[in-house]
Chains A and B, each alone.
Chain A
C-alpha cells in the first residue's frame, strides 16, 4: 500500500498544527518522523491514521481518497509513548484482540499470537496481566497487538521514550528486523537524531508543522537542505557561525580571516551562515590548514561515553563532540581546531548553498 498526503493543513482552534505538508510514502518503507516536541509529529500520525480528518488537503491510499474514511474502516495500527494495553486481559488476549475482533478462527489466532510473541520474546509471559510486566514487556505486548494484524500502516509514536537506554537499543534493533519482511508502511516518530540514524530507512524532518526535508535517512543527514534541517538532525546541534565570504577568504567576527575552500569560491561573495558539525571540531589539529581558535570552556556535558564540550569564542559559542570522558574546568582556556574544509554554508534565508565533500569515513556522527 502507498500513502500520499496531499497539501495537508491542520488547524485546531485557529492555531495551525500542520501547514502544507505533501508527503508520499512507498509501500514497504520504513519512515522516521524527526522533529522536536510540538513539531507536529503526533498530529501528522493522527491524520495518517484517520483518527481525525485534516482541515485541508487529501489523504490518498493506493490512489484512493480516504480523507474522510474513519479509522475504524482503515487497516492501521499504532503504538504509543505510554504503554497501552487492555488492563483486564492477559498478554495473550491483548495480542489476540485485533484478530478476535476480525473474527479469525481460534487455531489461526493461536498460531499468529505464538509467532508474534516469539518474535518479541514474550512467549513465556502470555498468561500474565499487563500490570505484572515491566515497562519493556508492556511495550512489547503493545507492539504485538500492533503487529499481529497485518496492518497496511503501522504508526509508532515515540514508543521507546519511556524505556531505559539498554532496552531502547535492543527494541530498536529488533524493530528494524521485524519490518524487513513486511510490505506495510511503518512510520516512526522520534525527537532524537541518533535514533533516526540508527533506524535508517527514510527520514522526514518536521519543524513547527512544516516538512523541511524528506529522503533516505543518511542523505538527509549528510545533505540537509537548510539550516533548520541541519540543526534538527544533529545531536549536539551543528555549530552555526555567521561570517562573510569574499573571493578568496572567509571572515568570522570581522577579525578571523582564513582562505576558503575552492568549492566555496563559486558562491557569490556576501554574508552567510557557516555550519560545522560538533564532531568535526577537535582539540588537536587534524589537517595543516585547520583554523586554531582560542576559546574558554563553559561546561562539559558527559553523555554516555562521550563528552559534549560547550565553549565560547569572543563572539560566538561552539560545541564540540568528543569521544571518551574528559574533565575541564570552567573558563579554562583551550585551543580548538576548526576544519575549514568541512564547512556547510547557508544563505541568509536558511537554504543550504554548500555541502562539504565527504572525507573517507569521518563524516558520520
Chain B
C-alpha cells in the first residue's frame, strides 16, 4: 500500500472544519467585501465603484469624530481597568471559602447580558427613581446623562469598569496563583519589600495574562455597542456615539450597504492592526531586553 491513501483521508477529516469556517467567517466576510466595492441599486442593478466608498468613509467627519471617541474610550477604560484589576487580584483572599465567595461575587457582573447592563444603569442613573441619579441630585449635583455630555461619558466609563474589570481581575488572580510559594519565601529571606515583590516577581510573572487581558479588553471595548446604546442612545447629541453605533445607523437605519461594508472592513482592519502591533511589540520587548552593563 502506498502513502497516498492516508494523505487523502487527512484532507477528508479537515473538510468539516473548512465548511464550518467557510460559513461562519469566509462567506460572510467575502459578502461584505463584495458590497464594499459595488453600488447595489436593486437585485439586477449594480455597478462597480472601486475604492470610492472607502475614500468617502475615511473622509467622513462624523465617522472620524466617532473614531476619536472610540479610541479615547478604549484608552480610558484600559487605563482604569488594568491597574484596578491587578489591584483587586492582589487583595483577593488566596484560599479557603473566602476565596470562592469573593470569586463568585466578582464574577457576577460578567454574567449579565450587555443590553441588560445598559438597562440596569439606565434605571440606576435616572433622576427620579434611580439610586445614583436620585442620590447625586439630592447631594445638589446637577447630574443628567441625557443633557450633559460629561455625565454621559463618566457613566459609560463607570459602567464598563463595573462590567469588565472582573475579567481582568480574574485573569490576574489566576496568574498570581500560578506563582510558586517558594518565590515569596525567597523574597522574604532576601528581605525584599512588598513593592519589590510586586515589581520583580508578581508583575513579570503576570506579563502573559496581562497581554491577554489588554487584547481582550481592547477588542471588546472597541466594539462596544449595546450598553451605551441602551444607556444614552449615543447622546446627548452624538457625544457617546461610538463606531458600532454609527455603523448600525448607516447599515440598518439608512440601508447604505456599500458605504457600511467599506466602513466595516476598515473597522475590522483597525482592530486587527492595533491588536497585532500591540502583541508583536510586547513579544519583542520580552525577547530582546536591553543587555545589562553590570560586572
Which A residues fall within an 8 A CB radius of B?
Answer: 46, 49, 51, 71-72, 76-78, 80-82, 84, 86-90, 92-93, 96-98, 101, 110, 113-114, 117, 123, 126-127, 129, 145
Min CB distance B180 to A, Å, is 6
Interface centre among A88, A98, A101 (most CB of B within 10 A): A88
**Chain B window 261-295, contacts with chain A (Cβ cutoff 8 Å), 1 for yes, 0 for no:** 00000000000000000000000000001011011
Q: Is the CB of A92 within 8 A of B200?
A: no
User: CB < 8 Å: which of A82, A87, A93, A129 contacts B205?
Assistant: A87
Given contacts A84-B180, A84-B183, A86-B200, contact A92 B190 (CB under 8 A): no
Nearest to A51 among chain B residues (CB) is B185
Min CB distance B111 to A, Å, is 34
- Residues of chain B within 8 A of A46, CB atoms compared: 185
Nearest to A70 among chain B residues (CB) is B188
User: CB < 8 Å: which of B189, B204, B292, B295 contacts A71?
Assistant: B189
User: CB < 8 Å: which of B186, B205, B291, B294 contacts A80?
Assistant: B186
Min CB distance B117 to A, Å, is 37
- Residues of chain A within 8 A of B291, CB atoms compared: 90, 127
Q: How far is the CA of A84 from the CA of B189 in the complex (A)?
A: 12
Q: Is the CB of B182 within 8 A of A92?
A: no
- Residues of chain B within 8 A of A123, CB atoms compared: 295
Q: Is the CB of A110 within 8 A of B294?
A: yes
Q: Is the CB of B189 within 8 A of A126?
A: no
Q: List 8 A-B contacts (CB under 8 A).
A: A78-B186, A93-B292, A93-B294, A98-B190, A101-B191, A117-B295, A127-B291, A129-B289
- Residues of chain A within 8 A of B292, CB atoms compared: 90, 92-93, 126-127
Given contacts A80-B182, A126-B295, contact A87 B189 (CB under 8 A): no
Q: How far is the CA of A89 from the CA of B290 in the complex (A)?
A: 11
- Residues of chain A within 8 A of B188, CB atoms compared: 51, 71-72
B116 at interface by CB-CB < 8 Å: no
Nearest to B183 among chain A residues (CB) is A84
Supply 15 further A-B pairs (C-beta < 8 A) apart from A92-B295, A126-B294: A51-B188, A51-B189, A78-B186, A80-B182, A84-B180, A86-B200, A87-B205, A90-B292, A90-B294, A92-B294, A101-B191, A110-B294, A110-B295, A113-B294, A127-B294
B239 at interface by CB-CB < 8 Å: no
Q: How far is the CA of A129 from the CA of B291 in the complex (A)?
A: 9
Q: Is the CB of B191 within 8 A of A49?
A: no
- Residues of chain A within 8 A of B201, CB atoms compared: 86-87
Q: Is the CB of A97 within 8 A of B190?
A: yes
Count residues of B near A (Cβ-Cβ below 8 Å): 21
Q: How far is the CA of A86 from the CA of B200 in the complex (A)?
A: 6
B18 at interface by CB-CB < 8 Å: no
User: CB < 8 Å: which of A76, A81, A127, A129 contacts B189?
Assistant: A76
- Residues of chain A within 8 A of B129, CB atoms compared: none
- Residues of chain A within 8 A of B294, CB atoms compared: 90, 92-93, 96, 110, 113, 126-127
Min CB distance A90 to B, Å, is 4
Nearest to A87 among chain B residues (CB) is B204
B192 at interface by CB-CB < 8 Å: yes
Q: How far is the CA of A145 from the CA of B190 in the complex (A)?
A: 9
Nearest to B196 among chain A residues (CB) is A101
- Interface of B: prevailing SS: helix
Min CB distance B6 to A, Å, is 38
- Residues of chain A within 8 A of B185, CB atoms compared: 46, 51, 78, 80
Min CB distance B39 to A, Å, is 55
Q: Is the CB of A84 within 8 A of B186?
A: yes
Nearest to A149 among chain B residues (CB) is B190
Q: Is the CB of A113 within 8 A of B295?
A: yes
Q: How far is the CA of A101 from the CA of B186 in the complex (A)?
A: 13
Q: How far is the CA of A145 from the CA of B186 in the complex (A)?
A: 10
Min CB distance B120 to A, Å, is 41
- Residues of chain A within 8 A of B289, CB atoms compared: 129
Q: How far is the CA of A99 from the CA of B196 in the complex (A)?
A: 14
- Residues of chain A within 8 A of B200, CB atoms compared: 86-89
Q: How far is the CA of A114 from the CA of B180 in the complex (A)?
A: 29
Given contacts A92-B294, A110-B294, A127-B292, contact A101 B190 (CB under 8 A): yes
- Residues of chain B within 8 A of A72, CB atoms compared: 188, 191
Q: How far is the CA of A97 from the CA of B200 in the complex (A)?
A: 11
Interface residues of B in 155-204 (CB under 8 A from A): 180, 182-183, 185-186, 188-192, 196, 200-201, 203-204
Min CB distance A358 to B, Å, is 42
Q: How far is the CA of A97 from the CA of B203 in the complex (A)?
A: 17
- Residues of chain B within 8 A of A90, CB atoms compared: 291-292, 294
User: CB < 8 Å: which of A82, A87, A88 contacts B182?
Assistant: A82
- Residues of chain A within 8 A of B204, CB atoms compared: 86-88
Q: How far is the CA of A110 from the CA of B295 in the complex (A)?
A: 5
- Residues of chain B within 8 A of A51, CB atoms compared: 185, 188-189
Q: How far is the CA of A78 from the CA of B187 in the complex (A)?
A: 10
Q: Is the CB of A82 within 8 A of B295?
A: no
Min CB distance A189 to B, Å, is 13
Interface centre among A72, A78, A86, A93 (most CB of B within 10 A): A86
Q: How far is the CA of A84 from the CA of B204 in the complex (A)?
A: 13
Report, nearest first, the 5 A-B pairs whose CB atoms are least far apart: A88-B204, A92-B294, A87-B204, A90-B292, A80-B182
Min CB distance A157 to B, Å, is 8
- Residues of chain B within 8 A of A127, CB atoms compared: 291-292, 294-295
Q: How far is the CA of A344 from the CA of B272 in the complex (A)?
A: 76
Q: How far is the CA of A6 from the CA of B201 in the complex (A)?
A: 35
